[in-house]
């Protein structure tokens, strides 16, 4: 952590507007021009990640990835000294949007990095456009963000929901499950995108979805009715998307119900990514997922990253750590050619970054402001007493499905 978020007297005063004269131009005369860091080259970054709520674990991984990259690179992007201001995104846009506005307007950052919740990322688009600042999304996977709601000020180093599931759709169609897959995902926007991406790719490969189910998001703790449905559907395999506590519950109940032995479970990678895998324990063994990263990847960049991460945090990195470390990586590359720190200049520079060839996930490029990257088929295996997502197959480079 680069800045300690204590309540200083100055911050309190600023809150209550006791420093008005400093900003005498005020809001009614036009936007404050934050981030004019003169003199020595410096860049101020607002890292907005969840520190509270259900996504707090993701936030921890993201911040660790960011901190580690900076530590390994002397706290600098090229000639620019980096100052990081961390803010709590919380769970919903109710907390996330104010947090982004705070780092932009109050802390005067040049770039915002982070954001887990897609609604928050979509919700700050106007603010970014008006202040002409860049946001690098390091998780939120809504297709619209770099699709129909695209703005030049939002770039993404993570993934799109449909990209991850489309890879699995194509794979299952080619591996003997053509005549029947059951698809299940929670009833909310991301779940719908995942299922749509999967179905499209699966059907394009000649596959047939024999049934779908949408359990209520965040309110389902007993999946038995859905498991019965899967059993009776005559499916040869199940494709699912869950994350967090729902992923733990679903995978465990799938095994307890006795389906794991008869109808193999496939999923979007978040099903078994990060801290959930430990809690799913043996119930997750054999589950296969697609994702653009696993800490088991055999490439020099990943080996170095995993070793450094484990040495520093006594934990394995997750895809969330890598996505955020890559945000630092691309900013570093962009700043070599950027003419200024505003959103337009940075966006132009990011467009010319080319292949990011030293990323732990393998080489990737920006395609329409979001990664075109290798998707991996992964299988949960027990390696020396630890559950890991072992690489089964390289499914090739893929872009955001259009």
Partner 1 sequence: MTAVASPAVPGGTAARPPRLTCGRGALISVVVLVVLAAAPLFLAPFATTTLTRVLVFALFAVSLDLLVGVTGLPSLGHAGYLGAGAYAAGWVSINVTAEAPVPLLVGAAVGALAAALTGWVTVRSAGVFFLMLTLAIGETLQQVADSWESVTGGANGLTGVPLVRLAGTPLANVGYTYWYVLAVGALGFALVAVLVRSPWGAALRGIRDNEPRMRALGYPTSLYKYVVFVVAGGVAGIAGSLLVAQQRLVTPADLGFLTSSFALLAVVIGGAGSLWGACLGAALVIVIRDALGPSLDGHGTLVLGVVFVLVVYLLPRGAAGLRPRRRRENA
Task: Note the residues at the interface with partner 1 (CB under 8 A).
Answer: 5, 7, 11, 14-17, 19-24, 26-32, 48, 50-52, 56, 59, 86-95, 97-99, 101-103, 105-106, 118-119, 122-123, 125-126, 142, 144, 149, 187-190, 192, 216-217
Nearer of residues 93 and 317 to partner 1, judged by Cβ:
93
Question: CB–CB of 273/179 below 8 Å?
Answer: no
- Smallest gap from Cβ 154 to partner 1, in A, equals 12
Q: Which lies closer to partner 1 via its Cβ, residue 131 or residue 280?
A: 131
Instruction: Tell me how far the alpha carbon of residue 102 is from its chain's centroid.
Output: 22
Are 394 and 179 within 8 A, CB to CB?
Answer: no
In the complex with partner 1, the residue whose CB is nearer, 5 or 396, is 5
Q: Is the CB of 86 or the CB of 265 nearer to partner 1?
A: 86
- CB 149 to partner 1: min, Å: 7
Contact between residue 127 and residue 104 where contact means Cβ atoms under 8 Å apart:
yes
User: Whose Cβ is closer to partner 1: residue 114's or residue 207's?
Assistant: 114
Residue 93: alpha-carbon gap to chain centroid: 16
Nearest approach, Cβ of 22 to partner 1 (angstroms)? 7
Q: Give the shortest CB-60-to-partner 1 separation in angstroms.
A: 10
Query: Do 139 and 322 meet the contact criterion of CB atoms below 8 Å apart?
Result: no
The nearest distance, CB 106 to partner 1, in angstroms, is: 4
DSSP strand pairing (265-268 vs 288-291): parallel
Q: Which helix (H) or strand (E) holds 395?
A: strand 386-398
Range list of β-strands (E), 174-215: 181-184, 209-213
3-class secondary structure, 40: coil
The answer to whether 339 and 365 are in contact (CB under 8 A) is no
CB of 151 to partner 1, least distance (A): 10
Handedness of CA 323, 325, 329, 330 (dihedral sign): positive
Spatial distance between the Cα atoms of 123 and 104, rounded to a whole number of angstroms = 14
Q: How far apart are CA 350 and CA 303, in angstroms?
A: 26
Q: Least distance from C-beta 55 to partner 1, angstroms?
A: 11
From CA 170, how far away is CA 134, in angstroms rounded?
Answer: 34
Q: Kindly tell me which of 122 and 380 has the beta carbon lying closer to partner 1.
A: 122
Q: Which is nearer to partner 1, 88 or 295 (CB)?
A: 88
Smallest Cα–Cα separation from 374: which of 293, 263, 289? 293
- Residue for token pair 């952590």: 1
CB of 213 to partner 1, least distance (A): 14
Calpha distance 378→283 (Å, rounded): 16
Nearer to partner 1, 147 or 264 (CB): 147
């Amino acid at each position: 952590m680069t800045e300690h978020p204590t309540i200083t007297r100055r911050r309190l005063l600023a809150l209550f507007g006791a420093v008005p004269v400093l900003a005498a131009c005020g809001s009614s005369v036009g936007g404050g021009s934050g981030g004019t860091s003169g003199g020595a080259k410096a860049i101020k970054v607002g890292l907005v990640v969840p520190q509270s709520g259900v996504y707090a674990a993701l936030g921890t991984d993201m911040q660790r990835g960011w901190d580690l990259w900076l530590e390994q690179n002397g706290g600098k992007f090229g000639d620019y000294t980096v100052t990081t201001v961390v803010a709590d995104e919380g769970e919903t846009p109710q907390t996330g949007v104010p947090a982004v506005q705070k780092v932009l307007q109050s802390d005067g950052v040049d770039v915002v990095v982070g954001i887990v919740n897609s609604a928050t990322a979509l919700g700050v688009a106007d603010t970014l456009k008006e202040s002409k600042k860049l946001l690098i999304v390091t998780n939120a996977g809504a297709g619209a963000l770099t699709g129909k709601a695209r703005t030049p000020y939002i770039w993404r180093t993570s993934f799109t929901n449909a990209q991850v599931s489309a890879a699995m759709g194509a794979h299952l169609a080619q591996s003997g499950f053509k005549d029947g897959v059951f698809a299940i995902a929670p009833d909310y926007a991301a779940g719908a995108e995942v299922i749509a991406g999967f179905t499209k790719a699966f059907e394009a490969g000649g596959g047939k979805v024999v049934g779908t189910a949408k359990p209520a998001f965040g309110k389902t703790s007993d999946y038995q009715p859905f498991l019965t449905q899967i059993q009776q559907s005559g499916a040869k395999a199940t494709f699912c998307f869950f994350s967090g506590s729902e992923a733990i519950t679903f995978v465990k109940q799938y095994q307890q119900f006795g389906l794991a032995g008869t109808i193999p479970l496939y999923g979007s990678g978040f099903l078994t990514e990060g801290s959930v895998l430990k809690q799913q324990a043996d119930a997750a063994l054999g589950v296969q997922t697609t994702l653009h990263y696993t800490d088991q990847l055999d490439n020099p960049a990943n080996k170095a990253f995993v070793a450094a991460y484990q040495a520093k945090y006594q934990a394995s990195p997750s895809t969330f750590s890598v996505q955020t470390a890559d945000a630092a990586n691309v900013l570093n590359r962009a700043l070599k050619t950027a003419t200024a720190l505003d959103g337009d200049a940075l966006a132009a520079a990011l467009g010319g970054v080319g292949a990011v060839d030293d990323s732990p996930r393998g080489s990737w490029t920006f395609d329409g402001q979001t990664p075109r990257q290798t998707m991996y088929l992964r299988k949960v295996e027990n390696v020396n007493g630890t559950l890991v997502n072992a690489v089964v197959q390289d499914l090739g480079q893929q872009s955001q499905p259009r």
